[in-house]
Amino acid sequence: MKKKISILITVLMVVTMGLSGCGKKTENKVATESDVIKIGVFEPMTGANAAGGALEIEGIKLANKLYPEVLEKKVELVIVDNKSDKVEAANAASRLVEKEKVTAIIGSWGSSLSMAAGDIVKKAQIPTMGTSCTNPLVTLGNEYYFRVCFIDPFQGTVMANYAFNTLKAKKVAIVQEVSNDYAIGLAKYFTDSFKKLTGDENSIVAVTNYNTGDQDFTAQLTNLKAKNPDVIFAPGNFTESALVIRQARQLGITTPFIGGDTWETPEFITTGKEAVEGATFSTFFATEKPITKESQVFLDAYRKEYNGKEPAAVAALGYDAYIILLDGIKRVGSADSVKLRDELAKTKDFQGAAGVINFDENRNAVKSAVIKEVKDGKFTFKEVIEPIK
């Protein structure tokens, strides 16, 4: 009997110790979570825009490595794949808001993907920092959406001026990715500006469309060739744009091609090969022209982190989206999302890697554009275009 009682007491002691241990673990877990601030990231990691998303994530991760804490709390990145799809982009934003309980969100490559998340972040009152989403509709009417890039009315004007003043074009043809909000918007702003510059309502001699994922552009290009334009403006995703130019050269079209920021992706050159030599486009940042002290911090750290590779402009934008959110959290003194939104709106002369950031009334960054061309198989700096005053 005494032996049985002794065994029972031993068992009770083990159980009690176990429960006590579980209690301590729970307390530790709660304490750990309170020391973490979550920033969500939704980017295309698969699908048609995956290469662009990967570049932005490189910049975001680098910023997190250099600046891993704010308010003496660890900053945790929660990265979700929006799969280059509008529905999946909305799902990704919902997950970050509802399940992950993030303080703020970064993203995304692709204006359509960013717009798909707009109502979700607005309703949840989670400030979201766009990276390279340039369509004005991303932030319009959504006080919780900001962006660190310029917008398409400026970019379209920049490229229209380049076509008219530098290339001396009087007639332009447009090839646009009609299923892409970014491409449609940029084509419109280019068209409006170019017509104004020429004073000729018929200066756009042809507009032809294709869909994301198309591979054969022979019919569209044959039509454009007959119009004999001075320049072809081709806003669209990097893969399809490269194929358009490659097939144009195969058809004997020697007309200069110009485009927008999406072209600055390694896949544009690997897909287009020698056919994209001379292709010229607007973008956000040039490694040859560090703008701020943070530009050099970013460049040095990026080259070290990624084995000497030169960063794409969108990597710098991803980096800036992260550090501007941290700056806002620091100024607020807490992870309160609503207060963070209000503080971000007050941002003035923020020194980012890709330039100085001031937000306009629609929370768009007012900043310079860079013109680059493909030369000897590399993206090469040409000039800086300052924002319109």
Per residue in 226-280, pLDDT tens?
999 999 999 999 999 999 999 999 999 999 999 999 999 999 999 999 999 999 9
Q: Answer yes or no: is pLDDT of 27 > 80.
A: no
Q: Answer yes or no: is pLDDT of 58 > 50.
A: yes
* pLDDT level of residue 387 (50, 70, 90 thresholds): confident
CATH architecture of 37-150+288-358: 3-Layer(aba) Sandwich (3.40)
Cα 183 to Cα 214: distance, rounded to the nearest angstrom: 15
Asked, colleague to colleague, whether 37-150+288-358 and 153-283+372-385 share their fold, the answer is: yes
Cα 224 to Cα 232: distance, rounded to the nearest angstrom: 9
Instruction: Answer yes or no: are the C-beta atoms of 58 and 96 closer than 8 Å.
Output: no
**Phi, psi for 164 (deg, rounded to 5):** -80, -50
CATH code of the domain occupying 153-283+372-385? 3.40.50.2300
Q: Where are the alpha helices (DSSP H) in the chain?
A: 2-34, 50-66, 86-94, 111-124, 152-161, 181-198, 218-227, 238-250, 266-272, 293-305, 313-332, 337-344
**Phi, psi for 44 (deg, rounded to 5):** -75, 110
Cα 101 to Cα 268: distance, rounded to the nearest angstrom: 37
Cα 246 to Cα 279: distance, rounded to the nearest angstrom: 11
Q: Which residue has the higher pLDDT, 310 or 31?
A: 310
Provide the 3-class DSSP secondary structure of residue 149: coil
Average pLDDT, the chain: 91
* pLDDT level of residue 34 (50, 70, 90 thresholds): confident
Cβ-based neighbours of 41, under 8 Å, separated by 6 or more: 57, 60, 77, 78, 79, 80, 105, 106, 107
Q: Answer yes or no: is pLDDT of 11 > 80.
A: no
Domain boundary assignment for the chain: 37-150+288-358, 153-283+372-385
A 10 A CB-CB count for 370 gives: 24
| Predicted confidence (pLDDT) per residue in 149-190, tens digit | 999 999 999 999 999 999 999 999 999 999 999 999 999 999
Cβ-based neighbours of 149, under 8 Å, separated by 6 or more: 130, 131, 132, 133, 134, 261, 284, 317, 365, 367
pTM of the prediction?
Answer: 0.85
How would you class 18 by CB atoms within 10 Å of its CB: exposed for 0-12, middle for 13-18, buried for 19 or more?
Answer: exposed
Let me know how long the chain is.
389
For the four alpha carbons of 313, 317, 318 and 320, in that order, the dihedral sign comes to positive
